[in-house]
Amino acid sequence: MSQVQSVVDATRKFVQDEVLPLDDEFDGDIEAAGGDEARRRLQAAARDAGLLSPHGPEEYGGLGLNMTDRAPVFEEAGYSLFGPVALNINAPDEGNVHLLDCVATAEQRERYLKPLVRGEWRSAFAMTEPAPGAGSDPSALTTRARRVDGGWLINGRKHFITGADGADFFIIMARTSGEPGDAGGASMFLAPADREGIELTRHIGTIDVSMLGGHCELVFTDVFVPDEDVLGDIDQGFRAAQVRLGPARMTHVMRWTGAARRAHEVAVRYAADRTAFGSRLADLGMAQQLIADNEIDLAATRALLREACAELDAGGRASKSTSIAKTFAAEALNRVVDRAVQLCGGLGVSRDLPVAKIARELRPFRIYDGPSEVHRWSIAKRAVRDYGEGEPR
Amino acid sequence: MSQVQSVVDATRKFVQDEVLPLDDEFDGDIEAAGGDEARRRLQAAARDAGLLSPHGPEEYGGLGLNMTDRAPVFEEAGYSLFGPVALNINAPDEGNVHLLDCVATAEQRERYLKPLVRGEWRSAFAMTEPAPGAGSDPSALTTRARRVDGGWLINGRKHFITGADGADFFIIMARTSGEPGDAGGASMFLAPADREGIELTRHIGTIDVSMLGGHCELVFTDVFVPDEDVLGDIDQGFRAAQVRLGPARMTHVMRWTGAARRAHEVAVRYAADRTAFGSRLADLGMAQQLIADNEIDLAATRALLREACAELDAGGRASKSTSIAKTFAAEALNRVVDRAVQLCGGLGVSRDLPVAKIARELRPFRIYDGPSEVHRWSIAKRAVRDYGEGEPR
Amino acid sequence: MSQVQSVVDATRKFVQDEVLPLDDEFDGDIEAAGGDEARRRLQAAARDAGLLSPHGPEEYGGLGLNMTDRAPVFEEAGYSLFGPVALNINAPDEGNVHLLDCVATAEQRERYLKPLVRGEWRSAFAMTEPAPGAGSDPSALTTRARRVDGGWLINGRKHFITGADGADFFIIMARTSGEPGDAGGASMFLAPADREGIELTRHIGTIDVSMLGGHCELVFTDVFVPDEDVLGDIDQGFRAAQVRLGPARMTHVMRWTGAARRAHEVAVRYAADRTAFGSRLADLGMAQQLIADNEIDLAATRALLREACAELDAGGRASKSTSIAKTFAAEALNRVVDRAVQLCGGLGVSRDLPVAKIARELRPFRIYDGPSEVHRWSIAKRAVRDYGEGEPR
Amino acid sequence: MSQVQSVVDATRKFVQDEVLPLDDEFDGDIEAAGGDEARRRLQAAARDAGLLSPHGPEEYGGLGLNMTDRAPVFEEAGYSLFGPVALNINAPDEGNVHLLDCVATAEQRERYLKPLVRGEWRSAFAMTEPAPGAGSDPSALTTRARRVDGGWLINGRKHFITGADGADFFIIMARTSGEPGDAGGASMFLAPADREGIELTRHIGTIDVSMLGGHCELVFTDVFVPDEDVLGDIDQGFRAAQVRLGPARMTHVMRWTGAARRAHEVAVRYAADRTAFGSRLADLGMAQQLIADNEIDLAATRALLREACAELDAGGRASKSTSIAKTFAAEALNRVVDRAVQLCGGLGVSRDLPVAKIARELRPFRIYDGPSEVHRWSIAKRAVRDYGEGEPR
């Protein structure tokens, strides 16, 4: 058995035994389940099981898995809505670990990356802004960092900042040159959450409730960031963030594949157990169609994911393949869970089975991390660039 | 202006002014909004506006609208999740009014129908049972009524009984002859909720929270029903319930069309107001596709609905046309709201806009009142009966 | 039995007995079946049966049916691919009859409309042009009519002119003022096919082969049209053509509904007759799903159609409702036939059953008469105009 | 550059230069293009280019590529409808090569396999039967082989036997024990096409016309097969045919991916070239959605294909993964081509562009080699077996 397989198996067992009971008791609501306190308990258990931070650098106690090997491990973690937080591979910390590992200075690694990998700190990535700022279109960035003595002063508003409530530090994207609408001119800054001028103004009440720290609005008023906390090069923020982009898309897919698989498995068991019109539900053709379509969607999601991961592991930016995999997966996994709900009938929309809560949590994935429409737009533009020349033949 | 149009317009205004604010404040959660107390307040306002019970017989204060005329009025009511309860046209009361109006004796009308139409009482229809009882397949009915002196003793379990908590009386479907699996042998009984032996054992926690009285489990233990409270003829319960079936399907469609239309309108306004990639969102082709598909789905839903209503008003059972309209509508309206969510981006999955809550409330409609799969099964069987003879030609 | 119903029944019988055998013998290829010679024979039979030109004015021998009454008659005709030509209600003649009936002068009626209704003449509507001319976007019109003594000289190119080969006259749309891109400035002209300067340059080889006269390219070189053959007012061509637009969309839907229904009925009979895996195919759930979805799509198509027809009969332009009905129908009917093909397995893609040829003939309907995308664009724009104002609420 | 990549590139060039012109001239109709004579010419050219039989064993002049390496080569071949026949990788010869390579005796290899790989002979696989015989359900096999002195006598009927007309020999599946409905009892036999008692009764006229030798009906009347021409073990025919099944599914996918890719590329070029409503068609959102969805479907098809190929190359039967890949691909590739047709508007349904013919040829792939419904049924049964045990959790 490969080493990865043993991590996969251990993760499956850990999630089943330690994480699912809490998830189901509190219907996937991480705050109801204890919030950060619950996270600490679950992460302590994961640490004991040798499963904490499978993606983190080994020097800080992570398992150092590459993208390809993360895929099955993260899927097992995602089987429970609380699995990712338990293994410290939840968004946005997981992506931030990846980003810091690629971009941070030695000093920044020690100060920010190390506690993040160890599960001592949490973080948030402060990028998206309310209209008319940076949303699907990053170039609309309006938050500004102004040069001052020894560092920068940041002013602006952010929203949908996942995990912001309780984060120990923020990675802030702010404009250091140019105007909203310009493609470049952004930079990234590290700032402890208690830095003066950072205000969490509200939780945006979203339908998903399993993400620790919620989705928040922040206001930055003259937030000072010293030069040593600039992350990457000035004016190169969008370029540097690319490092985070592709992998973060894929780890989302990995986790949600696990959640969708759970819904599917629960529904299949339900259908195998239930009788209607003199047949096992699982033997009725329309139920079989729902089940088969789920298998197909899960298989295609994983196949696209693995290809993109191989490309990333080979050093590519994988911009096309991660965009395709993310878009397909977001829609396919939502279909999977919707079919699972349908298969379970009345219980499918109840708390008696976990399928309804998975549907609730998964829906935003078609919007977060780039709505399907924006991905399609960029996929199409690339295709036109690639094939659009010459006579139709 | 026709009289119906004036009721439609008044309903629109009433819902906008009196009902939507409460709905939005409490995110469509009727219990959070005050439960039965809120209902009484809203119904009092509707009574003052001359809009209470538009479907109820005029002798008891209703407006006596036929199915065709109900359609636009109920759609306006459904624009708010609380609109139907405000107008006293919520399931299951609305369907029960229809059933009693068709089947009840003069005495039963006075005792049960009158307070129902007046909004003084609430009711529930106790039909569906936990597995392996009557669900999608009514013939699996296991609850039994045993003949005793002067009446019947009912024993059995029911679940997903909408509106049961707080209902003043139940209409109970129970087997008076035959065995589970037999197509006939069912009868209906009227029983005040405080009758000895009726126990509400739990609320099934479903994702929808706008239905007053929830979806409940009931246990009947030697519940006595005197002969005068038998509703319709003994052993003819399924046949009599047909009277309720088609219209109840259609009034569901009417109400949910209103809710889906609201989501659509909100999304169109959002798209008309928001800028992305240098364009109004509403001018981008992929957004236009979502908007146009919503218009098409809403138009087709209403067209199928109107045809079925005309057939019902003409005295038909409309079994095929209501089944088709219900199935199409349940899926189409869910698509409409899903597209509205997508169009609104991050805010679409938040409480900042009402689209997410409408999506949550609408999802069960593809399951309640017959899952799409069961309707398709019956539609197909009828088609095979109609066209299946002779050589393919 | 209503008078319309008797026409419907007679049409059904006529199509079954007189038209289907020829259609099936020649796999729906009208040229192979004899072309105009076949048309004359079929129309003679229809005339004998009192069924010719059910849409035509009674003064010229038509039945004078309004849109609502045409629907079931045209559907019966469409049951065979040759039914419409047999009844003289094929595109484009049928739409041209409608247009002339609304717009033509008394003299033009006698000269052009009368022989058209009587089946003595055929016609074509020369509107669409090769790129960059008028296609989905009529305002791109480049064909020009220049004022000369006593009339106009027309120059330009047209393509996809249905029925052009063998047409006795053309209705030509040409620009009398403005430039390509201008919304107005078009006029309509009547011209006998043998008028000097009209050249049919080629048949565009399309997948559909049931339309008499094909889809052709035309070149107009100094084609003279005298003033008395101007159809409608100068510069008002687009406006006048609107009269033709909505009804022509709907009669397409009527005819194709008949064709799709035939495919569906054939498939249901096939499924009822065939055994697989120990069951009748028609009793397998996935087959039932295909059958039920067909029933739903057919019902929704007819419901949308009837609403649009009622609106047209009431004198409305019905621009929105005909656009919605056409778009839905084109896609729904194609789905119906595709499912029919699938249900019939290997024979479904063969000439042994008529489903494959119906699929072939129906596919262009999603493109002809406005591609679905163009209709969606206009539907969305209207929705944004209607609901896009004010705050999302 | 890898060796495979050089074969891919050479194939692309060969197909563009040598094959596409013939394909387009004759609208993909192989008989019209010259039939077997055209094949010989094309294969001679492929032989000269060192590209003939890339899948064939090297001892007979093939390139010996495994499944993984075949994928991109076959896709390039499939870019033209005549590419597969040109490279000698057309169904059914290609699958028969694979089968013989795995199962044939040394003598059978020399006699049957060698000329097949060299393009000297053609073959057919005589398995499917008219109702009520073996179709989607192989166990219904009714053709019988009766033991006689020195061999077997075969009697029965076959239909949809691809490539039968002009085949030099047949591989015949016949029942050697048991009764129709029994899962086992089948055997495979080799028979030269001129063996007495083999009669080709008709071509089934199917919509696809690019397969050399058509889809035929055969009657076997006392066809004698000597013992040395039994292929594999007696009564083990279904088991042995499994060897052919998975790979044959996948090579279909490879070839059709190429065809669908061509349609997509043509449509993108068309959209990049065409102006409508003041924009490049390729810049309109709805067109971009069609393009992006095509990219996604192509990527997912290839990803599933590669996974199944890797499994087959590793020695697995890959029954589940090939079934999923085939089902997904058949539907996805049809969607791709349908979108390409739609994108090209009127020309999309004409012979002016190659998209309509590709649509016509691809449609049967959702039926041939197992209809999607049958694959879904088997995928679902496996899922129920895998996950159906235990309590829903």
Question: What confidence score (pLDDT) does residue C275 get?
Answer: 85
Between chains, do C345 and D371 touch, taking CB under 8 Å as contact? Answer: yes
Which residues in chain A are contacts of B128 at CB distance < 8 A? Answer: 346
Residue with tokens 């696809």: D208
Question: What value does the mean pLDDT take over residues B285-304?
Answer: 98
pLDDT at A1 over 60: no
CA distances from B26 to A29, B18, B21, B81, B350 (A): 19, 14, 9, 11, 13
Between chains, do C366 and D342 touch, taking CB under 8 Å as contact? Answer: yes
Question: What confidence score (pLDDT) does residue C240 get?
Answer: 87
Considering the segment(s) C238-387 as one domain, its CATH architecture is Up-down Bundle (1.20)
3-state secondary structure of A205: coil
Is residue D347 within 8 Å of C128, Cβ to Cβ? no
Phi, psi of A190, rounded to the nearest 5 degrees: -100, 135
Which of C279, C280, C283, C284 should one mutate to test binding to chain A, selecting the residue with the greatest count of A CBs within 10 A?
C284
Question: What confidence score (pLDDT) does residue C392 get?
Answer: 59
pLDDT digit of tens for each residue in chain C (393 aa)? Answer: 578 999 999 999 999 999 999 999 999 999 999 999 999 999 999 999 999 999 999 999 999 999 999 999 999 999 999 999 999 999 999 999 999 999 999 999 999 999 999 999 999 999 999 988 998 888 999 999 999 999 999 999 999 999 999 999 999 999 999 999 898 899 999 999 999 999 999 999 999 999 999 999 999 999 999 999 999 999 999 998 888 889 999 999 999 999 999 999 999 999 999 987 788 999 999 999 999 999 999 999 999 999 999 999 999 999 999 999 999 999 999 999 999 999 999 999 999 999 999 999 999 999 999 999 999 999 999 999 998 876 655
Cross-strand pairs, D301: none
Question: What value does the mean pLDDT take over residues A367-373?
Answer: 94
Which residues in chain B are contacts of D284 at CB distance < 8 A? Answer: 285
Rounded to 5°, the CA angle B240-B244-B247 comes to 145
Question: What confidence score (pLDDT) does residue A202 get?
Answer: 96
Question: What confidence score (pLDDT) does residue D356 get?
Answer: 98
If we measure between CA atoms, which residue out of A343, A337, A340, A345 comes closest to residue A283? Answer: A343
Nearest-angstrom CA–CA distance, D92 and D70 = 16
Q: Which of the residue ranges A128-142, A245-259, B188-202 would you say has the lowest mean pLDDT? A: A128-142
How many of the other CB atoms lie within 10 Å of CB of D74?
31
Which residues in chain D are contacts of A309 at CB distance < 8 A? Answer: none
How is chain B split into domains, by residue range?
Answer: 3-117, 123-235, 238-387
Is residue C267 within 8 Å of B383, Cβ to Cβ? no
Residues A112-149, buried b or exposed e (16+ Cβ, 10 A)?
bbbbbbbbebbbbbbbbbbbebbbbbbbbbbbbbeeee
Question: What confidence score (pLDDT) does residue D156 get?
Answer: 98
Nearest-angstrom CA–CA distance, C270 and C272 = 5
If we measure between CA atoms, which residue out of D276, D259, D349, D237 comes closest to residue D28? Answer: D259
Nearest-angstrom CA–CA distance, A24 and A214 = 19
Is residue B376 within 8 Å of C288, Cβ to Cβ? yes
pLDDT at B136 over 90: no
Which candidate from C291, C300, C379 shows the least CB-CB separation from B383? C291
How many Cα neighbours within 13 Å face the side chain of B141? 26
If we measure between CA atoms, which residue out of D171, D179, D177, D169 comes closest to residue D147? Answer: D177
C3-117 and C123-235, same CATH topology? no
- To the nearest whole Å, the CA of D132 is away from the closest chain A CA by 21
Residues A350-370, buried b or exposed e (16+ Cβ, 10 A)?
bbebbbbbbbbbbbbbbbbbb
Question: What confidence score (pLDDT) does residue A52 get?
Answer: 98
Nearest-angstrom CA–CA distance, D359 and C338 = 13
Question: What confidence score (pLDDT) does residue B392 get?
Answer: 58
- To the nearest whole Å, the CA of B3 is away from the closest chain A CA by 39
Which two tokens mark A154?
């940041």
Question: What confidence score (pLDDT) does residue A392 get?
Answer: 57
Which residues in chain D are contacts of A380 at CB distance < 8 A? Answer: 282, 287-289, 291-292, 295
pLDDT at A109 over 90: yes
Is residue B333 within 8 Å of B293, Cβ to Cβ? no
Quote the strand ranges of B338-384, DSSP E: none
Each residue's pLDDT tens digit, B338-359: 999 999 999 999 999 999 999 9
Pairing of strands D169-175, D123-126: parallel
Helices H, strands E: what count in chain C?
Answer: 14, 10
Nearest-angstrom CA–CA distance, D76 and D261 = 9
Nearest-angstrom CA–CA distance, A268 and A251 = 26
Q: What is the ipTM of this complex?
A: 0.96
Percent of chain B with pLDDT over 70: 99
DSSP state of A110: I
Question: What confidence score (pLDDT) does residue B85 get?
Answer: 98
DSSP code per residue over D187-198: EEEEEETTSTTE
Question: What confidence score (pLDDT) does residue B86 get?
Answer: 98
CA distances from C164 to B31, C12, C79, C360, D348 (A): 68, 29, 24, 21, 20
A15 Cα distance to chain centroid:
18
Residues 6 or more apart whose CB falls under 8 angstroms from that of A30 comprise A38, A39, A81, A82, A85, A209, A210, A211, A212
Q: Which segments in chain D show pLDDT lower than 50? A: none
pLDDT at B117 over 70: yes
Question: What value does the mean pLDDT take over residues B126-136?
Answer: 91
A23 Cα distance to chain centroid:
18
Between chains, do B286 and D289 touch, taking CB under 8 Å as contact? Answer: yes
Helices H, strands E: what count in chain A?
Answer: 14, 10
Between chains, do A289 and C287 touch, taking CB under 8 Å as contact? Answer: no
Question: What confidence score (pLDDT) does residue C235 get?
Answer: 96
- To the nearest whole Å, the CA of A269 is away from the closest chain D CA by 4
Percent of chain B with pLDDT over 90: 91
Each residue's pLDDT tens digit, A173-184: 999 999 998 988
Is residue D210 within 8 Å of D82, Cβ to Cβ? yes
Best CATH choice for the domain C123-235 from the list 1.10.287.3510, 1.10.8.100, 2.40.110.10, 1.10.1740.10: 2.40.110.10
pLDDT at A393 over 90: no
Each residue's pLDDT tens digit, A63-93: 999 999 999 999 999 999 999 999 999 999 9
Which residues in chain A are contacts of D136 at CB distance < 8 A? Answer: none
Does pTM top 0.90 for this prediction? yes
Best CATH choice for the domain B3-117 from the list 3.30.390.50, 1.10.645.10, 3.40.630.30, 1.10.540.10: 1.10.540.10
How many Cα neighbours within 13 Å face the side chain of A72? 11
Q: Helices C3-14 and C67-78 sit at what angle, rounded to 10 degrees?
A: 20
CA distances from A108 to A127, A245, B348 (A): 20, 20, 37
Nearest-angstrom CA–CA distance, D28 and B387 = 37
D145 Cα distance to chain centroid:
27
